[in-house]
């Protein structure tokens, strides 16, 4: 398919070019493939004004009508899944099969949002429980916030965008979307598909540029900010947003525990696959695996074997399992973390090299818990293995770290699984699965440096509405 020469801005139903541009680069080849238009202040003001008008229109629309338009959009996305997968492969390095899966998931996310938008409900408040409330009727109702600023990353560009657009629209809000410039071509096509499917111009504005992102944080027209990205930038978003409400889906370092009674082969295969797929560029990618010492060496051998069967290479080749990371700079950063771990005493079992942005699947054993490859977020195809003797020490190690997104535990013991669920301070604990698991209707998000609030259509709709208490006096 033909790759667009530029990614334009979508403002008030029109595609707008600007002279301020940055290059879009194919991460696998390193070649410049297009340019990305950046949004100057005047156009941001225009986009915000259009969103404010759109917010009034969408809030006045019946929920069933909003749901019908969102379902139409989902059907259109499903019909263009292969095209979107191709763009993702060229622009972000995501293998074709993974890109197609993501595009189809984004359609499902929109459908789930349409359904949840029909079930927004308040509550009856029992006023008779207090003397001052006696004889009164109290109800709590939910209303749209208005304009949502949605800031999305490159690693799952269409589904993470759907997780913001779908709930916002279903709740009756308009959206100003600022996507990653490293996925701008993909998101341009995604927005085109949505618009052609009947999403009204006031529902969605799409812009680019760091200056525009800062402007969104400060803009009085913006009522709510939904951000997905690194913990470092998330902290800046929170600091720069003033009193605006925010939802922040941030980083993680993917802990998974393998107990002595675990299904060894299933755990090893799952950890290898989920540490390497998407080139490890997911906040919940398996990164750190704590394995009971009695099965540690056998587990390490099996993880290295399963990882070695994955083919790294051209994302446009259907046989590729692991594509490049987003750019050569990221690959160099990942290489530095691997080298530092080895210098600190880790044993390199597989990989440990890169060419350009293509990082070979890497397995490290005996990694010291204090090194950067454990405590930080690698965000690359690297799995760090550590033996343990005392499960309580593992719980303490995980909780002492900065992140709290998701963790997994493989065990046949229900009491141990429940103990992990109670003691691990995480947004989610996955039993007999790795940290890398997400179903789009479920609550998703973290604590500590992993974020604030929850995604998943039902839960995001609650974030994107505001509560209003109404009292009826007799």
Active site residues: 249, 283
- Token pair 């190690």: residue: 397
- From the list 370, 420, 427, the residue with the least C-alpha distance to 258 is 420
Question: Distance (Å, rounded) from C-alpha 229 to C-alpha 351?
Answer: 27
Residues forming beta bridges with residue 388, ordered by sequence position: 292
Using alpha carbons, list the distances in angstroms from residue 441 to 83, 214, 464. 25, 30, 16
Question: Distance (Å, rounded) from C-alpha 452 to C-alpha 403?
Answer: 12
Angle at 190 between CA 279 and CA 196, to 5 degrees: 165
> Which residues have CB under 8 Å from 240's CB, separation 6+?
214, 217, 218
């Amino acid at each position: 398919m033909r790759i667009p020469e530029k990614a334009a801005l979508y403002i008030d139903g029109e595609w707008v070019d600007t002279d301020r541009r940055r290059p879009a680069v194919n991460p696998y080849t390193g070649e410049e493939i297009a340019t990305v238009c950046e949004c100057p202040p005047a156009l941001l003001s225009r986009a915000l004004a259009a969103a404010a008008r759109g917010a009034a229109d969408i809030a006045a629309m019946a929920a069933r009508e909003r749901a019908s338009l969102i379902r139409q959009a989902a059907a259109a996305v499903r019909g263009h899944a292969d095209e979107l997968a191709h763009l993702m492969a060229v622009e972000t390095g995501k293998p074709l099969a993974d890109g197609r899966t993501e595009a189809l998931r984004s359609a499902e996310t929109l459908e789930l949002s349409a359904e949840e938008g029909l079930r927004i409900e308040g509550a009856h408040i029992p006023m008779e429980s207090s003397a001052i409330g006696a004889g009164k009727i109290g109800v709590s109702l939910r209303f749209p916030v208005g304009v949502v600023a949605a800031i999305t990353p490159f690693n799952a560009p269409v589904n993470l965008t759907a997780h913001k657009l779908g709930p916002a629209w279903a709740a009756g809000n308009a959206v100003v979307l600022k996507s990653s410039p490293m996925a701008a071509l993909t998101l341009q096509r995604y927005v085109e598909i949505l618009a052609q499917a009947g999403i009204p111009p006031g529902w969605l504005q799409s812009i680019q540029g760091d200056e525009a992102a800062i402007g969104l944080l400060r803009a009085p027209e913006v009522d709510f900010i939904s951000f997905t990205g690194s913990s470092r930038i998330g902290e800046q978003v929170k600091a720069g947003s003033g009193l605006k409400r925010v939802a922040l889906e941030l980083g993680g370092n993917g802990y998974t525990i393998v107990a002595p009674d675990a299904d060894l082969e299933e755990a090893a295969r799952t950890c290898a696959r989920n540490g390497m797929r998407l080139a490890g560029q997911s906040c919940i990618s398996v990164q750190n695996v704590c394995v009971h010492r009695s099965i540690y060496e056998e587990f390490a051998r099996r993880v290295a074997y399963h990882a070695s069967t994955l083919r790294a290479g051209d994302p446009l080749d259907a046989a590729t399992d692991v594509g490049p990371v987003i750019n050569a700079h990221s690959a160099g950063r990942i290489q530095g973390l691997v080298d530092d771990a080895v210098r600190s005493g880790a044993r390199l079992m597989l990989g440990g090299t890169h060419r350009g942005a293509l990082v070979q699947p890497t397995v490290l054993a005996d990694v010291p818990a204090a090194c950067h490859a454990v405590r930080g977020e690698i965000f690359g195809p690297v799995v760090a293995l550590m033996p343990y003797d005392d499960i309580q020490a593992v719980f303490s190690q995980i909780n002492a770290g900065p992140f709290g997104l998701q963790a997994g535990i493989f065990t046949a013991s229900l009491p141990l699984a429940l103990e992990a669920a109670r003691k691990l301070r995480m947004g989610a604990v996955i039993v007999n699965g790795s940290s890398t698991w997400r179903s789009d209707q479920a609550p998703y998000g973290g604590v500590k440096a992993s974020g604030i609030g929850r995604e998943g259509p039902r839960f995001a709709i609650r974030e994107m509405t505001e509560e209003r208490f109404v009292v009826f006096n007799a």
